[in-house]
Structure 1
Amino acid sequence: MLASIPVAANAKDAPDQSAPVLTQTHVSAIEVFALADRARGQGNFETAEAAFRALTEDPDLEVRTEARFRLGMMLADDLKRYNEAALAFRRILDDKPGAARVRLELARMQAMLGNMAGARKELRAAQAAGLPPAVEQLVRFYSRALNARKPLGGSVEVALAPDSNINRATRSDTLGTVIGDFSLDDDARAKSGVGLDLRGQGYFRHGIEPGVDLLVRASADATLYREADFNDLTVALQAGPQYIWGGNQLTFSFGPARRWYGGDLFSTSIGGGVSWQRPLGKRGQVRLDGNIVHVSNKRNALQTADDFTLSASFDRAFSGRFGGGVQLFGFREAARDPGYSLAMGGASAYLFRDLGRTTLVGTLGYSRLEADARVFLYPKRRAENRYSASIAATLRALSLGSFAPLVRLKWERNHSSIELYDYRRVAAEFGVTSAF
């Protein structure tokens, strides 16, 4: 177990012309650990980090694991570089998914990064893997410690997105109406293309009192194409209090959103919602969400509506590397015109599995939609059955810093009584994702 690292004669000072330097030497892993720990104790984190990172290349798995753990702890506790610390702990778990202490530290990093869902997922995975009594106490400690949240954070995802039906439109040449068949122009029919998907969200958290925060969130979602007529951009801003007590988290939010389609303003909305979640047993989590939003449609005033959404979800870890969840939802849109008013309900399920340094996530979904009445022009009342499926892979083996490559494949089939809304769609995304 040998490591090769640059060592300066005076560890606290940068080498200069007059200072002798040991440029390269071979020492045992034990000696490098001692050097790194001594440098860390003296506050010389640059030397300590170089030593730990050299040991992460050691051919012995146990040496690499210990080096990554010590590096992660130093990055987290001394340097507050939580993102890099999380990567170090994640790399250990790729090799040793049953390392409970490491998974707890990863959960702590997720919490410090503001990713509460990710933190709770890691805690559930740790408990699913089986924990000794002493570690169970740590889990309870870290569950309470999730209240120590990062004041600023967010995430970003960038991907190329080839799509067989970018406008979710019919492939038919004609549209049947009560007064005869109309010919559809090219823009009203299914079009394929390759877009650029951009998604980002950021938040600011301000503590009001113990257990109560003011949470402000901003988000943007854009799909851009060479043909600007199909560009789709949505931005939103929400703010409200968040309450934490016991294992419960209750969040209220309110704010505006705007959507542009084809470069023109498509809709504006204002509304709010409430979300409640809590652990269910040692391995599960339940979440309830409700939202009320007023949407003003700028292209068709008859579609201006009040939207109501309710959803319930349950997530569970089956083991340290395997888990899943289900969601039920209901949606009601009360539009000015009964023909555009509708009710929809559905369900979705997902499974995730860590395979080495790759995380796979598969989803299946179904929804049923029915309109209140027939739009005057159409021969039937709108009724639809929509099916969807996707599979995604996060390739941590190819990570560059905090960015990890992401591949996602999606399929949709919408059976509609109105020809205009009947479509098939296959899409893919090739990009990178990161939290900060």
Structure 2
Amino acid sequence: MLAIAPAQAQQPLNRGEAVALLRTEFARAQALLEARRPDEARAILERLVIAAPETPAFRLLLAEVLLRQGVADRARFHYHALRGAQLSPADRAHVEARLAALAGGKRWAGHLSFGLVPQSNVGKRTADDTITIGGIDFQLDEASKARSGTGLSFSAGLTRRVVLSHDTLLRFGAQGSGFVYADRRFNDMRLNALVALERQAGQNLTVEMGLNHTLRLLADRPYARGPGLWLAARTRLGRATVLTTRAQVDWLTHPDAPGLDGARQGLSLGLHHQASPTLALTAQLSFDRTDARQPAQAGDGALVALGLRQAFAGGVTVGLDASLRRDARDAPDGLFGLRREDHTTSVALKLMRRDLRIFNHAPMIEIRHEQRRSTLPLAAFRNTSLGLYLSREF
């Protein structure tokens, strides 16, 4: 409570005194709004949400002020969080109306994220010094061993929405993401252009169909490119849960490795549940199939991922993500004579403060550990990274 009114809190407050102080500050914010002093009211409301993130009234009024001031992305965040709150029917209808208006009125949407990511194993290479082929041991040279380094991570996208009718819109845009290093051999970038039709098929159902074209660059050279097609649906299950399904197929060619050419099909299910204004839970299950020309490069994959986001009093939000992926190839590798099968685990801890801005970007710290076990020695690795990111939506 000290951040709200230091002069009134010379000694620790009991619960009753703390609640009374919060109510006093909330009434002061309301009075400032009536006096047409929104900047001062917003400052108080932001401190109130930090001090008592579970209180819907503070968050709802802050969202309204942010929306009036044109800060739509932050207003949208608070309205989404309120889906997990205990609201009156009138307030819940108001929140849903605001979210619908924000979604329908936004013609351009974009995001930008970049960060420095020190890693223990930049190229995700094996930690072994030797490998065995045909019963003979071979010593790996220094260039093939794991090494530490720092990369620049980036992700950016811009989308244009065109309303075709009251329930149908056209969406097109481009996005890119990747890692860039001083040693260009490790550079990995993806570029994607898309066009999609989106239709509101019911009060709680949105469906979309789209086309995309993907280009992936490794070491600054084209690695894979090709068109794709997808069909997706987003369904509201109750007041706070959203189920997303997506089916996609990409037809990829590889200029320097034609044996990898072929179609990749994927099916994914995602669940997002806003358990409370401060707690969000996510789950994902996906399957994919790669039909490459070379049987040793064709195979099946599956992924299970879980995540949570918890906001705490004081303004800090903690995120925890964990995933397990299995990949199995159809035929033995030509060099090792073994059928490749990988099991990859990843765990990430994220720390964020949504009220803090650096050059109008929200900062985030991410600690990630990734490990792959494989039947092929060269494919196994461990990598730990510490990412320092700045991101924004607009």
TM-score class normalised by the smaller sequence: 0.7 to 0.9
Name which of 103, 109, 112 aligns with 1:153.
109
Q: Quick one: structure 1 residues 147 and 125, their matched pair in 2 at CA, closer, same or farther if it must change by over 3 Å?
A: closer
Give the whole-Å Cα distance in 1 for the aligned partners of 2:362 and 2:221. Answer: 34
Q: Is the 8 A contact 1:176 1:182 kept in 2?
A: yes
Contact kept, 8 Å, 1:69 with 1:92, in 2: the verdict is no
Residue equivalent to 2:369: 411
**Moved runs in structure 1, 4+ residues, more than 4 A?**
67-75, 85-92, 107-110, 112-116, 121-124
Partners of 2:177 and 2:191 within 8 A in 1? yes
Alpha-carbon distance between aligned partners in 2 of 1:219 and 1:61, rounded to the nearest angstrom: 43
Query: Residue 46 of structure 2 contacts residue 62 of structure 2 at CA under 8 Å; is this kept in 1?
Result: no
CA distance in 2 between counterparts of 1:99 and 1:114 reads 19
Question: What whole-Å deviation, never above 9, does each CA across 1:363-409 have from its counterpart, x for those lacking one?
Answer: 11111111111022113110111111001112235313631111111
Q: Does 1:172 align with 2:128?
A: yes
Alpha-carbon displacement from aligned partner over 1:225-260 (angstroms, at most 9, x marks no partner): 111221222211111111123121212221212121
Note if 1:333 corresponds to 2:297.
no
- State the SS of the aligned residue for 1:299: coil
**Aligned position for 2:338:** 380
Give the whole-Å Cα distance in 2 for the aligned partners of 1:221 and 1:193. Answer: 19
- Distance change in 2, residues 1:64/1:168 (3 Å): farther
Structure 1's 144 and 307: CA in aligned 2 closer, same or farther, altered over 3 A? same
Q: Pick the structure with greater CA Rg.
A: 1
CA RMSD of aligned residues (A): 3.1
Question: Could you tell me which residue of structure 2 aligns to residue 130 of structure 1?
Answer: 86
How much has 1:299 moved relative to structure 2?
2.5
1:163 and 1:145, CA in 2 relative to 1: closer, same or farther beyond 3 A?
same
Paired residues of 2:45 and 2:61 also in contact (CA < 8 A): no
Q: CA deviation at 1:106?
A: 3.5
Deviations 1:340-372 (A, max 9, x none): 011111211001011232221101111111111
- In 1, Cα distance between equivalents of 2:32 and 2:232: 37
Instruction: Give, as a single letter, the amino acid of the residue that structure 2 aligns with 1:380.
Output: L
In structure 1, the residue matched to 2:25 is 61
Retained in 2: the 8 A contact 1:89–1:106?
A: no
| Superposed CA offset, 1:138-176 (max 9, x none) | 234335435523111211111010011111111222333
CA distance in 1, matches of 2:35, 2:393: 20
Give the counterpart letter for 2:311 in structure 1: D
**What TM-score does the superposition give when structure 2 sets the normalisation length?**
0.83
Q: How many equivalent pairs are there? A: 365
The verdict on how the C-alpha distance between 1:235 and 1:159 changes in structure 2, with shifts beyond 3 A counting, is same
1:183-231 superposed Cα distances (whole Å, 9 cap, x missing partner): 4333332221011111111111111111111101211113111112212
Q: 1:293 aligns with which of 250, 265, 274?
A: 250
What SS does structure 2 have at the residue aligned with 1:135? helix
> Which of 418, 421, 426 is the aligned partner of 2:384?
426
Letter paired with 2:372? N
- Aligned AA for 2:301? M
User: Could you tell me whether the CA contact under 8 Å between 2:205 and 2:233 is conserved in 1?
Assistant: yes
Shift of 1:435: 1.0
Once residues 191 and 398 of structure 1 are traced to their aligned partners in structure 2, the CA distance between those partners, rounded to angstroms, is 34
* TM-score normalised over the length of structure 1: 0.76
Instruction: Say if 1:73 and 1:329 are closer, same or farther in 2 by CA, change over 3 A.
Output: farther
Contact 2:49 2:58 in 1 (8 A): no
Amino acid at match of 1:336: R
Unaligned runs of 5+ in 2: 1-23
Code of the aligned partner of 1:255: N
| Residue 305 (1) aligns with residue 262 (2) | yes
Instruction: For 2:86 and 2:73, locate their aligned partners in 1 and report how far apart those are by CA, in whole Å.
Output: 23
The equivalent position to 1:248 in structure 2, one of 205, 212, 215, is 205
Instruction: Tell me, in whole angstroms, the C-alpha distance in 1 between the residues paired with 2:345 and 2:363.
Output: 27
- Are the equivalent residues in 2 in contact too, given 1:205–1:213 (CA < 8 A)? yes
**1:116-139: per-residue Cα shift (whole Å, max 9, x none)?**
9x94x7555324320123213323
Larger RCO, structures 1/2 (Cα 8 Å, 6+ apart): 2
Preserved contact between residue 93 and residue 103 of structure 1 (Cα < 8 Å): no
The runs of 5 or more residues in structure 1 that have no matched partner are: 1-59, 76-84
Name the aligned partner's letter for residue 241 of structure 1: L
Alignment of 1:22-421 (within 5 A): 61-62=25-26, 65-66=29-30, 93-97=49-53, 98-100=55-57, 102-103=59-60, 106=63, 119=76, 122-123=78-79, 125-142=81-98, 144-178=100-134, 180-244=136-200, 245-355=202-312, 356-400=314-358, 402-421=360-379
1:124/1:228 CA distance change after superposition, 3 Å: closer
Separation of aligned partners in 1, 2:164 and 2:124: 45
Q: Which SS does the other structure have where 1:372 is aligned?
A: strand
Change (3 A) 1:230 1:70: farther
